[in-house]
Amino acid sequence: MRFWFLLFLALLPPASAKGDGGYLVGRILALEAQRGVALVEVEGGRLEALLPVDGGGYRVGQRVVLYQEGGKTYVTEPDRIPWLLGLLGLFAFLAALLGRGKGVRGLLGTFLSLLVVVYLVVPKVAAGGNPLLYAFLGSVGVLLLTVYLVHGVNRKTTAALLGTLASVVFVLFLALFFTRNMGFTGLASEEALLLRQWGGVDLLSLFLAGVVVGTLGALTDVSVTQAAVVQALAHANPRFGLGELYRRGMEVGYDHIGSLVNTLVLAYAAGSLPLFLLLTRDPTPLRFLLNTEPFAAEIASMVLGSLGLLLAVPLTTLMAAWFFQGGRGGPPEDHGHAH
């Protein structure tokens, strides 16, 4: 999710530059290591650009991003956008090829969800709105788009939607309780420190909003799958009532929970490897290092997100059992599995 969000932001129209600075994209024609410059071809001609002190590892023929300021041009970064677009294209192709209609609708749902985040949640928060409120409203919009667009409007998707929303609300209350009692300030990252300088943003609410939004994709997957299981059970034996459907659905749900316990833990841990690497370099005793907000916030995010996944299984199973008891709702159109 983070990859698609950042790539989406990168493709938005750039803000106007201030002063005499500006960005260009060019291709390196020649490198002069001794002088620390590169001859770069840009639209409209050629120019010399200063390389980083260490040379940057650039090579002839490579596309790079340039920045001009004060009459000088600097090589800042490799131009990665074409490669990111290629990766995105590969993902879209395989999603459409292997997922067919639902794969295409899933891609469309992802794109529309990003529009909700970028054009609804982010502007409202930037204007001083409560991040927690707009993250929740954005979550509702994202869930409506992803669940109903991909899987259709029916009892199964409605049960999955209600189970997911119930999990989100529960996690929000848990997050509010624990983060306030742990004295979090929201200043657990460099981005948060920069936002603090700008002012106008409730950083603690922004942290809580990030916890919720970060779990939406996994929550949707869990909820739709569990609702599909209950639908298949109800179709197989229409005599099953609410209690029997819940019990049998949870027999599958327990296996689901067992595989979900470490899903978000590993996902968050993978993104926090540099932070965890500090554990091996910092002389502070481990007990006190884990007590600092950056580490405690990561652990809290992992556990709260995983709690949301665990709660989604019984809540969605109960909702689906209510909707499908007595064989209501008809047979499943996807053979009872939504993965």
**Within this chain, do residues 129 and 222 fall inside the same structural domain, yes or no?**
yes
**Within this chain, do residues 58 and 141 fall inside the same structural domain, yes or no?**
no
Q: How far apart are CA 296 and CA 302, in angstroms?
A: 10
Q: What is the pTM of this model?
A: 0.70
**Within this chain, do residues 156 and 274 fall inside the same structural domain, yes or no?**
yes
Is residue 335 assigned to a domain?
Answer: no
What CATH number is associated with residue 47? 2.40.50.140
> What DSSP letter does each residue of 7-59 carry, written as one string?
HHHHTSPPPPPPTT-EEEEEEEEEEETTTTEEEEEETTEEEEEEPPTT-TT--
Q: Determine the length of the chain.
A: 339
Is residue 84 assigned to a domain?
Answer: no
**Within this chain, do residues 41 and 185 fall inside the same structural domain, yes or no?**
no
**Within this chain, do residues 128 and 265 fall inside the same structural domain, yes or no?**
yes
Using the 3D structure, point to which of 45, 79, 113 is the last residue of a domain.
79
**Within this chain, do residues 43 and 133 fall inside the same structural domain, yes or no?**
no
Is residue 49 assigned to a domain?
Answer: yes
Q: Is the pLDDT of residue 125 over 80?
A: no
Q: Is the pLDDT of residue 20 over 50?
A: no
**Within this chain, do residues 298 and 182 fall inside the same structural domain, yes or no?**
yes
What does the pLDDT look like over 67-121, one tens digit per residue? 998 889 999 999 999 999 999 899 889 988 888 787 888 888 888 888 888 888 8
**Within this chain, do residues 116 and 220 fall inside the same structural domain, yes or no?**
yes
Is residue 88 assigned to a domain?
Answer: no
Number of separate domains in the chain: 2
**Within this chain, do residues 10 and 148 fall inside the same structural domain, yes or no?**
no
* Enclosing domain of residue 293: 101-327
Is residue 93 assigned to a domain?
Answer: no
Is residue 91 assigned to a domain?
Answer: no
Is residue 89 assigned to a domain?
Answer: no
Enter the tokens of residue 119: 């054009």
**Within this chain, do residues 133 and 58 fall inside the same structural domain, yes or no?**
no
Is residue 334 assigned to a domain?
Answer: no
Instruction: Determine contact, residues 170/206, Cβ cutoff 8 Å.
Output: no
Q: What is the mean pLDDT of residues 286-308?
A: 81
With H, G, I as helix, E, B as strand and everything else as coil, classify residue 67: strand
pLDDT-derived band at 158, boundaries 50, 70, 90: very high
What does the pLDDT look like over 260-291, one tens digit per residue? 776 666 766 666 677 667 767 777 777 777 78
265 Cβ neighbours under 8 A, 6+ residues apart: 302, 306
**Within this chain, do residues 186 and 252 fall inside the same structural domain, yes or no?**
yes
